[in-house]
Amino acid sequence: MGDAQMEEGDNTREIEVAPALIAVDPAQRSVAVAVGSDLRVYDLIGDCPVSLVDDSAKPFHSDSIRAIRYDASGKLFVSAGDDKLVKIWSTDSWFCISSVCCEKRVSAVAVSNDGLFVCFADKFGVVWVVSLKGDAENQALADKKAAPMLAHYCSIITSLEFSPDGRFIVSADRDYKIRVTVVPKNPLDGAHEIQTFCLGHSEYVSCLDFIHSPDYPHGLLISGSGDSTVRLWDVTLGSLLDTCEIGSKFDRRFTFFLKAELSATDGIEEDPCHAVTDLCTCPNGTSVALAVQSLKGIMLLNCNLSAKTLSMAKVSISLVLSLFCKDFRFSFLNSRQIHAMHGSIVLRHIYALRYRYAWLGKEES
């Protein structure tokens, strides 16, 4: 996830820009966007930008933000990145309630389902955990100390996810591995019991998400990788249930919309890269949206939880669009604008090309 894509024709090709990130409050009260070191939150109820308040010793972020997310209840928000800080915010007051220091730059964050623990991964592959227990939400806390919980030896962790039933924490790395670890009663003592590994990807694993529904509360794990596949896994056994080859889904119709990579050495167009860079699952457990490198749009896959299969649904090509799909609509980020669920809120100029899709799961009124 360290390689940033530059927009074509952008004359700042030499400077590496961290991909812009987007996260949506599960309670649908706000949308957060991180652009470089800048964190911007938009209040969807009040229809206005939010002013963040940070009284800590090192306020806000001083370097690229690499991971942002809300917790399952929407009460907490976490941001972390290259400034080696993990900031935990209350979403009621947008006050920074805790700022945790890390020795290394942070590459991924996750919050336990009960909102009591925040986990973050550093660039050496160590996953740290910090406890939020026993603290009132809006109180400023003494800066907390994190404990090491588990590690992928010398590998950059690209994604961290708790399973929907809270039993496992899943971590994916650049060395093609996905590790499923049992969440212990006290994570601060370390998560030593590995449940399984999900092995099969032949390139770096870039993204993880669980897909679940009320009928299937344990859910299944979906992973996207640089090997141009999306895979469906059972995390209790580590078994591979289905694989979707993204590369083979593109035919002549779509090649017009694919940006072919210009080879650095001789300027000859190379075949477009179909690496999966990000994915997001729909809350009702039926669809998965993918961001594919070199595709100017998004790809939708159908997931059948009972048959445990993945299949192609459609490829949507667009630069600026709000898409409707059954009961939900989703917002996404492109090179210039973001369209959030209430229609045409345009946030200011954002200059990166990596997409992140968030499912809002709300019925359109």
Partner 1 sequence: MIEKETTSTFNKSTGLPRKRFYRARAHSNPLSDSHFPVPLSPSQFDYSLHYPQLVPAASDDDNPKRIQFADIGCGFGGLLVALSTLFPDKLMIGMEIRDKVSEYVKERISALRTTNPGQYQNISVVRTNSMKYIPNYFEKGQLTKMFFLFPDPHFKEKNHRRRVISPHLLDEYAYTLAVGGIIYTITDVEELGEWMKGCLENHPMFEALMEEELENDLVVKLLTSATEEGQKVARNGGQTFQAVYRRIAPPL
Residue 165, Cβ neighbours under 10 Å: how many?
Answer: 14
Selected from 103, 193, 245, 364, the binder of partner 1 by CB under 8 A is 193
Selected from 45, 103, 114, 154, the binder of partner 1 by CB under 8 A is 154
The secondary structure element, H or E, covering residue 252 is helix 252-255
Place of tokens 């009972």: 306
150 binds partner 1 (CB under 8 A): yes
Distance CA 40, CA 13 (A): 25
Selected from 13, 145, 192, 348, the binder of partner 1 by CB under 8 A is 192
**Residue 147 beta carbon to partner 1: minimum distance, rounded to whole angstroms:** 11
The secondary structure element, H or E, covering residue 254 is helix 252-255
Burial 237-255 (b: 16+ CB within 10 A, else e): ebeebbebebeeebeeebe
Distance CA 294, CA 349 (A): 21
Amino acid letter, residue 61: H
234 binds partner 1 (CB under 8 A): no
In the bound state with partner 1, the residue whose beta carbon lies nearer, of 187 and 297, is 187
Site size with partner 1, rule: CB under 8 A: 25
Selected from 69, 123, 144, 177, the binder of partner 1 by CB under 8 A is 177
Binding track, positions 241-280, relative to partner 1; x by CB under 8 A: ----------------------------------------
Selected from 52, 106, 126, 170, the binder of partner 1 by CB under 8 A is 126
167 binds partner 1 (CB under 8 A): no
- Footprint (CB under 8 A) of partner 1, residues 93-122: none
Distance CA 340, CA 358 (A): 10
Using the rule CB under 8 A, give the single segment among 86-94, 169-177, 213-221, 355-363 that binds partner 1: 169-177
Distance CA 345, CA 303 (A): 31
CB half-sphere exposure, 224, CA atoms < 13 A: 26
Selected from 19, 36, 187, 200, the binder of partner 1 by CB under 8 A is 200
* Beta strands 38-43 and 30-35, pairing class: antiparallel
Which residues sit opposite 179 in a β-bridge? 171, 197
Using the rule CB under 8 A, give the single segment among 109-117, 185-193, 259-267, 287-295 that binds partner 1: 185-193
Q: Are 313 and 325 in contact (CB under 8 A)?
A: no
Selected from 26, 59, 74, 190, the binder of partner 1 by CB under 8 A is 190
Burial 40-73 (b: 16+ CB within 10 A, else e): bbbbbeeeeebebebebeeebbeebbbbbbbbbe
**Residue 3 beta carbon to partner 1: minimum distance, rounded to whole angstroms:** 16
Using the rule CB under 8 A, give the single segment among 9-17, 69-77, 192-200, 320-328 that binds partner 1: 192-200
Selected from 8, 197, 304, 324, the binder of partner 1 by CB under 8 A is 197
In the bound state with partner 1, the residue whose beta carbon lies nearer, of 193 and 364, is 193
231 binds partner 1 (CB under 8 A): no
Q: Are 310 and 288 in contact (CB under 8 A)?
A: yes
In the bound state with partner 1, the residue whose beta carbon lies nearer, of 154 and 320, is 154
Q: Which residues bind partner 1 (CB under 8 A)?
A: 124, 126, 148, 150-151, 153-155, 175-177, 179, 181, 190-194, 196-197, 199-202, 238
